[in-house]
Amino acid sequence: MQANANKTFGIALGSNLGDRGANLQRGVALLIEQVKPVRILAGGCYETAPVDCAPETQAFLNSVIEVEADCTSQEMHASLQAVEQAMGRPAVREKNEPRTLDLDLLYAGDFVSTDPVLIVPHPRLHLRRFVLQPLADIRPALILPGHHRSIAEHLAALTDDPDEVRLVQKVWMKVV
């Protein structure tokens, strides 16, 4: 496991229920209360169509933040789950169910874990435009552990339609 702390964490945020923008803002505020970060960067806020969800599911708002905090990856993961639950997301749920807030730990410095409870770096982040686009806004040159391409290179390699991820707001939260 991980002994060192004060890491840089990449976190994906998504919401497709209710006031999606307010949900993202509130989730970040709750996370700040939990982990007391020393620094936060935020990518743009993007709207994307739901994938593999029930018909008539509302589109998602997605973003990525990077947080520097004095905690372990496991502590950050637990904090993300606590924030999701505080925002009304049940701990046990159906896959791809609509949600007020979804928080995924994308990376934690150079930490790597294949534990099924916490896989880091996120195993599919390099395949998801709705994650790569806002991450490229803040960290285009980042190369994750186990990867040989930068975030910008992963984004350029995608073959899906770039118009499926639409910028809603470049600056959507106050950066600490």
CA 37, chain centre distance (Å):
16
Assigned architecture for domain 7-169: 2-Layer Sandwich (3.30)
Q: pLDDT digit string (tens) for 63-120?
A: 999 999 999 999 999 999 999 999 987 666 566 678 899 999 999 999 999 998 899 9
Nearest in space to 36 (alpha carbons), one of 64, 75, 3:
75
CA distance 145 to 62: 23
Give the C-alpha distances (Å, rounded to integers) separating 38 from 27, 32, 53, 70, 71: 17, 9, 36, 8, 11
Indicate the pTM of the whole model: 0.92
Q: Where do the domains of the chain lie?
A: 7-169
Q: pLDDT digit string (tens) for 64-79?
A: 999 999 999 999 999 9
